[in-house]
Amino acid sequence: MWNDTQLTTLLEQVRVGETDPTEALRRLKESARAIPTKFLDEAAIDLDRVARCGYAEVIYAEGKSTETVVDIFKTLLENGQDALATRVNDEQAHALTEKFSDAIHHSQGRTVRLNQNKDPRPTKVAVIAAGTTDLPVAWEAVETLRWMRLPTDLIADVGVAGPQRLPSQLDRFQEADAIVVVAGMEGALPSVVGGYVSCPIVAVPTSVGYGANFEGLAALLSMMNSCASNVTVVNIDSGFKGGYVAGMIAGRMADLREQS
């Protein structure tokens, strides 16, 4: 798969007559057929995803054998890509950190990541958790953002039951390029945060709550009906997706700063 620089160079060669259009078309077709995929016993690793989407394939570890998770992790690293595994169990986490000494395991977020490129990007993302019970999902978002090399501030236990707590933390999130808000129960916090900031907010409902919460469905519907126009919503307990979407938004802002 061609990256932007290679494609621009080829098109310029066609424009000035250095490359015949038919030859350029042949090379593009050949490249399309050669999209790199690594086939393992139980997985096919998409090694072109960085070129297409900006970030490597992420390992959803739940339901996978420990051996498969380790093999995927190893394949990504061998191909120069940062590795992230989510929803890891204790056995998988132990195997990964034993095999890869630089890997970072976050037990509460149930993630293991290894960044080969550790340079932070010029942006900021805040992750706000309504209650301490929401922290496992919030930490999954934080570790996802750290894997994306985006500076991230976690603000915990500022839910609407104590409304004075959020404004006291305003200086920590008001200048963020994107914010992830994690909440269960009635899921009201994203709307409140949305009234304080001008950036996009990715709301993550959690399954925290008593029976009528319906394992996060009440929070999900509440967030989808938010009257704050800058709030969008991902799936229940999906800290990874919330972090990833916010990271893509903030990453674009980082691109603009790096180009200016």
In whole angstroms, what is the distance from residue 70 CA to residue 200 CA?
Answer: 35
Burial of 18 (0-12, 13-18, 19+ CB in 10 A): exposed
- Domains of the chain and any CATH numbers: 37-114 (no CATH), 125-259 (3.40.50.1970)
Question: 204: which 2 tokens?
Answer: 């993550």
In whole angstroms, what is the distance from residue 231 CA to residue 195 CA?
Answer: 10
Question: In a structure prediction context, what are the per-residue pLDDT tens digits for the chain, which is 260 residues long?
Answer: 556 677 788 888 998 888 888 988 888 777 665 568 888 778 888 888 888 888 999 999 999 999 999 999 999 999 889 999 999 999 999 999 999 999 999 999 999 999 988 888 889 999 999 999 999 999 999 999 999 999 999 999 999 989 899 999 999 999 999 999 999 999 999 999 999 999 999 999 999 999 999 999 999 999 999 999 999 999 999 999 999 999 999 999 988 888 87
| pTM score, whole prediction | 0.85
The Cα angle at residue 172 between residues 167 and 177, in degrees rounded to 5: 110
List the one residue out of 95, 78, 127 whose CA is nearest residue 239: 127
